[in-house]
Structure 1
Amino acid sequence: MSIKTSAHSPLVADLASRFQEAPWLVQQRERAFALYTSMPSPKLEKTDLRDRPWLVESIPSATTGGAGAAAQALLEGAKAAGGAYVYVRDGVTIETSLPHSLAKQGVVLLDLHTAVDQHPEWVRRHLYSVVPAEESKWAALNAALWHGGVFVHVPSGVRLELPIHFIYEETMTGKGGLPRSLIVVEDRASLSFAEAYLCHGERQEGVVHSAVTELVVGPDADVTAACLSRYGKGPTNFFTRRAKLADNASVDWVIGDVSDGFTVGLVESRLEGPGSKSTTRSFGVGYGRQRLDFTASMDHFGHHSESDITLMGVLRGRASSTYRSSTHIERGADEASSEQHDRMLMLGSRAQADAIPMLLIDENDVQRCGHAASVGRIDENQVYYLMARGIPRAEAERMIIWGYLQPLVDAFPVEPWRSEVASWIDGELNLR
């Protein structure tokens, strides 16, 4: 098949030719690339992106070597949890596994390129429907050049007991990651989905990572979406994860970031259906010179919709973070309810944190809507209490921090992943 693309987007042409993509997808990519090139570098309230370079040199067609230690641990955890996973390294799909028990129920788990070929009707209907290219410069970049993604489809009425995993790893030879996850859960279905984004060590500056997750949740369906990221110094990292909820649907986000990179992230639920519910529980552990700008957002459209946001951050060294909780109750979303809780803990005098709660209420008939935010250091009274009982100071601080983070780490739906995240936190806090 001959693929025609415009001359100004050789990277789009490369993808179109390599995967023999359908004309509709090539057109979407070209449109998104045009948006990307025309958009100025974005400006955020607390994070300056003007001097961050945008560089996508090439789209990899091969990768070498094996999985790194962190990716290998998560892969083993995925296999131990039932063996439903897609593993991508440097933008190249390495392995896909779907147990027969899930396939027999009609579940589809494929890399996104294969899904475009085998299930074009589903992909064309839902791709870009939750995170459109017009949204931001980094969303347009992903929409134009995504590769190495995953597609999940859970049929109506199928309630999965086994979790599904997506593991994306970038090695030292990678040129930037642009994965896209498209998850479609039909009415009365249930899914636990865990995805991880891992980067090896310090990288060259100018590389861009832009990850997008689109989650379409049908009536009376429920989803737990757990997302881990570990970014290193050098690249600029963006992630956008959004769910669109129908009537009485439920989505629980569990987000964890343990990094020393430069990251801008958004996790959002659009509660479009009446009776829809969503929670976001997120923790971040920043160290070195990490810069994290993270927004957790709930947008209420449906009658009697409910949401809750809990954000917790721990920062040491010269790390700095901005955590935003945003709840928007649109006009007509009567009897909606929402709460926000933001807590930032700084270890040492050089770490910096901002907690910014935001409530935007356009409806008079609201059941409950509140927020609380705090930024501070470890309570010396708590440290003194533990030390007075014979516990060394370093161990006392470790106990206090783990009392703070443990409930969110325990919220991850897969035990091997919880253990791996705990080891990351222990290693980076360096509290031994």
Structure 2
Amino acid sequence: MGLEVKPVSTIAEKASYDVADFAVPNGREEEWRFTPLRRLRGLHDGTAAPDGKVLVDVTADPGVRVESVGRGDPRVGSGYTPTDRVSAQAYSSFTTATVITVPRETSVERPITVRLRGEGSAHAAYGHLTVIVEAFGSATLVLDHGGSATYADNVEFIVGEQASLKVLSLQEWHDDSVHVSHQHAHLAKDAKFAGFNVTLGGDLVRIRPSVSYHGQGGDAELYGLYFVDGGQHLEHRLLADHSVPNCRSRVDYRGALQGQDAHAVWIGDVVIRAEAEGTDTYELNRNLVLTDGTRVDSVPNLEILTGEVAGAGHASASGRLDDQQLFYLQARGIPAAEAKRMVVRGFLYQLVQKIEVEEVRERVEAAIDVELAR
């Protein structure tokens, strides 16, 4: 499968399954300028041999088809083409892909859970997951990442006509882990997709959620929550590529940072092509800085090639705790440390409450409390 060039947009303009079509990044490229390449352990330059292991275990209702397939399966790669070298390396290096299919007109009541556990970070592993929700179907998917790993993967969500998919992706890796992932939603006519990334663990985690529309009426909501501790690098780079009329996207990512050299990166790219009239889009990123010594890079981008849009906007804000809020709480007898925790909880829990799976929501709340207790 050869190189494809998207002449309309300057964002992610290359797409190829072939690693050789992408130069080794040097850190001066726009898409890599915030990422500390030396900490990728060779995932970006071909020196990371695929001799590590990340175990994949899927729990699903009987009506859901779960298969382990080779790269020759035509469904693998049918919804997403890699757009950078690490993604192409992951596609070229995995041995077995997991394909999950929700049949047509099937509504899955219980969440499908994909549990990924790394068995060591000294060696690299590569993976691929394809999730297909056929026309008029609906499902909720939980991706649960943990353990120690040096891991790169591609995850493609193919959502059929008038189908619905909700995804909760939890990155709770051990402190020695590196994870670079592409998560792409391919939406048919009137399809609905809601993706929620919760990134807490790992040494370096770089997630690239993206959405492409292949029929009018597509609707995507992308949420994210991250808590960055000292020395961690947590990066989220989003792309909503509006290429057909009358589609919608909403983005809301929030993070908190504490500790020396805690680094959060959020890049929000929205492309509205000339043919995508009637697009309705808005993206938001907010960051709460809790201590000195942290760094936040937040860059929202809109590329609009038509004047006929229903709405298009973005916002980004990063700052410290609100002194007035803290004063208000302390004036009512709440100790300073607890007042700070209450403000941070309120800031993050506005998104946490959108997690509809109770077990996952309670787990995220508990993890945030652990972070705040440090």
TM-score class, shorter-chain normalisation, is 0.7 to 0.9
Residues of 2 paired with 1:423 and 1:97: CA distance? 23
Residues 336-355 of structure 1: pairs in structure 2 closer than 5 A? 336-355=279-298
Q: Are 1:175 and 2:123 an aligned pair?
A: yes
Q: Are 1:129 and 2:92 an aligned pair?
A: no
- Structure 1 residue corresponding to 2:99, chosen from 144, 147, 151: 151
**CA deviation profile, 1:283-321 (whole Å, cap 9, x unmatched):** 111102011221122111121101110010101002011
Residues of 2 paired with 1:212 and 1:276: CA distance? 22
Which residue of structure 1 lines up, in the alignment, with residue 212 of structure 2? 270
**Cα distance change, pair 51–108 in 1 and its aligned pair in 2 (3 A):** closer
Residues 233-272 of structure 1: pairs in structure 2 closer than 5 A? 233-272=175-214
- Structure 1 residue corresponding to 2:223, chosen from 268, 278, 281: 281
Matched position secondary structure for 2:348: helix
1:423 positional shift = 2.0
Matched position secondary structure for 1:342: strand
Matched position secondary structure for 1:223: strand
Q: Are 1:49 and 2:37 an aligned pair?
A: yes
Q: Identity of counterpart residues, as a percentage?
A: 22
Matched position secondary structure for 2:220: strand
Residues 199-348 of structure 1: pairs in structure 2 closer than 5 A? 199-200=147-148, 208-318=150-260, 319-348=262-291
The amino acid of 1:316's aligned partner reads Q
Whether the aligned pair in 2 keeps the contact of 1:271 and 1:301 (CA below 8 Å) is yes
- Alpha-carbon RMSD across the aligned residues, in angstroms, is 2.3
1:96 positional shift = 4.6
- Unaligned 5+ segments in structure 2 are 1-15
Which residue of structure 1 lines up, in the alignment, with residue 332 of structure 2? 389
**Cα distance change, pair 98–224 in 1 and its aligned pair in 2 (3 A):** closer
The amino acid of 2:362's aligned partner reads S
Which residue of structure 1 lines up, in the alignment, with residue 11 of structure 2? none
Whether the aligned pair in 2 keeps the contact of 1:165 and 1:193 (CA below 8 Å) is yes
Residues of 2 paired with 1:346 and 1:324: CA distance? 18
**TM-score, L = length of structure 2:** 0.86
Which residue of structure 2 lines up, in the alignment, with residue 66 of structure 1? none
Which residue of structure 2 lines up, in the alignment, with residue 91 of structure 1? 54
Whether the aligned pair in 2 keeps the contact of 1:316 and 1:429 (CA below 8 Å) is no
Which residue of structure 1 lines up, in the alignment, with residue 351 of structure 2? 408
**Cα distance change, pair 37–371 in 1 and its aligned pair in 2 (3 A):** closer
Whether the aligned pair in 2 keeps the contact of 1:340 and 1:370 (CA below 8 Å) is yes
Matched position secondary structure for 1:188: coil
Q: Are 1:373 and 2:316 an aligned pair?
A: yes
Aligned residue pairs: how many? 350
Residues of 1 paired with 2:234 and 2:48: CA distance? 22
Residues of 2 paired with 1:307 and 1:346: CA distance? 27
Residues of 1 paired with 2:59 and 2:301: CA distance? 42
Which residue of structure 2 lines up, in the alignment, with residue 108 of structure 1? 65
**CA deviation profile, 1:317-348 (whole Å, cap 9, x unmatched):** 02011111111111110011101111011111
Whether the aligned pair in 2 keeps the contact of 1:340 and 1:372 (CA below 8 Å) is yes
Whether the aligned pair in 1 keeps the contact of 2:132 and 2:159 (CA below 8 Å) is yes
Which residue of structure 2 lines up, in the alignment, with residue 26 of structure 1? none
Which residue of structure 1 lines up, in the alignment, with residue 13 of structure 2? none
**Cα distance change, pair 174–412 in 1 and its aligned pair in 2 (3 A):** farther
The amino acid of 1:332's aligned partner reads E
**Cα distance change, pair 390–51 in 1 and its aligned pair in 2 (3 A):** closer
**Cα distance change, pair 361–307 in 1 and its aligned pair in 2 (3 A):** same
Matched position secondary structure for 1:331: coil
Residues of 2 paired with 1:292 and 1:384: CA distance? 31
1:220 positional shift = 0.7
The amino acid of 2:41's aligned partner reads P
Matched position secondary structure for 1:243: strand
The amino acid of 2:48's aligned partner reads V
The amino acid of 1:427's aligned partner reads V
**Cα distance change, pair 232–42 in 1 and its aligned pair in 2 (3 A):** farther
1:92 positional shift = 3.7
Residues of 2 paired with 1:345 and 1:304: CA distance? 34
Residues of 1 paired with 2:349 and 2:96: CA distance? 32
Residues of 1 paired with 2:348 and 2:49: CA distance? 39
| Rg (Cα) greater in structure | 1
Residues of 1 paired with 2:244 and 2:129: CA distance? 25
Which residue of structure 1 lines up, in the alignment, with residue 19 of structure 2? 35
Residues of 2 paired with 1:231 and 1:216: CA distance? 26
Whether the aligned pair in 2 keeps the contact of 1:260 and 1:290 (CA below 8 Å) is yes
**Cα distance change, pair 96–225 in 1 and its aligned pair in 2 (3 A):** closer
Residues 15-26 of structure 1: pairs in structure 2 closer than 5 A? none
Whether the aligned pair in 2 keeps the contact of 1:253 and 1:280 (CA below 8 Å) is yes
Which residue of structure 2 lines up, in the alignment, with residue 59 of structure 1? 51
